[in-house]
Amino acid sequence: MSELARVAQAMVAGGRGILAADESNGTIGKRFERIAVENVEENRRAYRDLLFTTAGLGESISGVILYDETLRQKSADGTPFPVLLERNGIIPGIKVDAGAKDLALCPGEQVTEGLDGLAARCAQYVTLGAKFAKWRAVINIGKGMPSHGCLTANAHALARYAAICQANGLVPIVEPEVIMDGDHSIDTCERITEWALHETFAALVNQRVSLEQMVLKPSMVISGTKCAQQAGAQEVAERTLRTLKRCVPAAVPGIAFLSGGQSDELATDHLDRMNKLGGGPWKLSFSYGRALQQPALKAWGGKVANVAAAQAALLHRAQMNRLAASGTYRSELDRKAT
């Protein structure tokens, strides 16, 4: 088996999943604002240090997605973050996209940029210790959206990115995110998700991407946040699984969901239900950002005295999601902890 296929499998094996800690400096600033922490480099470093030095994290977390600045930072004792993670049995990864930008002539739609110079950046990230990468495409649902042009532009960029990663020694996480915001029904979300995934896999095949050497990071099939009729958790699980089975080839080793603004416990519950339904030919795991970090951020509040409490909160969420990734989560476990 190739090294990239081995890494891709390791990212989703044994019920472990991925911690997305790759917020850009702008995005982490928004998270810090809510807990009144100043968005300066040392605070960003201290927060990531807290996350990555959590004892036992490696039992539930297979990999961490880092941001460019974080990949180059060090723990308080001087150990570079990628080295620290590897020591704890966690694979370091890196966000390589340059963010979603307005798609010309398509108001309300976006396309992710960052292909220029990507091969050279990937080669440098490998020397800094990264083993996998992430690129997020944003698909908005609304009146007349998404357009065919938006879906194909994003699928093409995802596929070009994935090919460049594989050519330069990184496993690509391919992330087409159908955004939850809006008053659309779960039916619409299912239709758009299926369309987006078909376009994405067609583009991946056209760019000769090896399906064995990638991980898919999709959104779940879920009601729009402002939809009057909210589908229940079991329906979300059934429709998401059905859609993935229609679109994702069995050669893909794993699917690691994003949380996309779902509450932490709901994101865990949905994943658990899909695995209790029997999953699919691929591993079904998580690559959560907010759904793993929210309780930890709140517990921390920027105070050194709260580091242990924040680490306990992160560890708990990671453990709950590991159970969900093998279909053995029980919501009572969350109630007992709070």
289 is a site residue for ligand 13P (CB under 6 A): yes
Per CB under 6 A, does 176 bind ligand 13P?
A: no
Would you say 140 and 151 are in contact if contact means Cβ atoms under 8 Å apart? Answer: no
Which SS3 state, helix, strand or coil, does residue 184 take?
coil
CB 63 within 8 A of CB 11: yes
Residue 57 or 258 having the CB closest to ligand 13P: 258
CB of 106 to ligand 13P, least distance (A): 21
* Cβ count within 10 A of residue 40: 12
| Residue with Cβ nearer ligand 13P (60 or 259) | 259
Check binding of 136 to ligand 13P (CB under 6 A).
yes
Q: Which of 64, 153, 291, 297 contacts ligand 13P by CB under 6 A?
A: 291
Nearer to ligand 13P, 175 or 272 (CB): 175
Amino acid making up residue 171: V
**In the complex, which residue's CB is closest to ligand 13P?**
289
Q: Token pair of 101, please?
A: 């930008």
Site for ligand 13P in 218-277 (CB under 6 A): 258-260
Interaction of residue 317 with ligand 13P, rule CB under 6 A: no
Catalytic (active site) residue 175: yes
Q: Which is nearer to ligand 13P, 286 or 329 (CB)?
A: 286
Q: Is 288 in the site for ligand 13P (CB under 6 A)?
A: yes
- At 215 the three-state DSSP class reads strand
Q: How far apart are CA 5 and CA 54, in angstroms?
A: 28
Residue 61 is a binding residue for ligand 13P (CB under 6 A): no
Phi, psi of 191 (to 5 degrees): -65, -45
Minimum CB distance to ligand 13P smaller for 319 or for 321? 321
Instruction: Using the minimum distance from each CB to ligand 13P, give the nearer residue, 118 or 291.
Output: 291
Q: Does 135 bind ligand 13P (CB under 6 A)?
A: no
Q: Considering 175, 190, 194, 199, which one is annotated as catalytic?
A: 175
| Given 95, 131, 134, 217, the catalytic residue | 217
Scanning the structure block, which residue is given the tokens 């880092």? 66
The residues with which 215 forms a beta bridge, in sequence order, are 173, 254
CB of 13 to ligand 13P, least distance (A): 20
Q: Which tokens is 51 given?
A: 């996350």
Contacting ligand 13P (CB under 6 A), which of 156, 273, 290, 316?
A: 290
DSSP letters of 79-143?
A: -BHHHHHHHTT-EEEEE----EEEPTT-TT-EEE---TTHHHHHHHHHHTT--EEEEEEEE--BT
How many amino acids of this chain bind ligand 13P (CB under 6 A)? Answer: 10
DSSP track, 186-226: HHHHHHHHHHHHHHHHHHHHHTT--GGG-EE-PPP----TT
Name which of residues 68 to 127 contact ligand 13P (CB under 6 A).
Answer: none
Q: How far is it, in rounded angstroms, from Cα 17 to Cα 284?
A: 9
Displacement of CA 221 from its chain's centroid (Å): 15
322, 15 in Cβ contact below 8 A?
yes
* Beta carbon of residue 179, minimum distance to ligand 13P (angstroms, whole number): 10
Q: Which residues contribute to the site for ligand 13P (CB under 6 A)?
A: 20, 136, 175, 258-260, 288-291
Active site residues: 175, 217
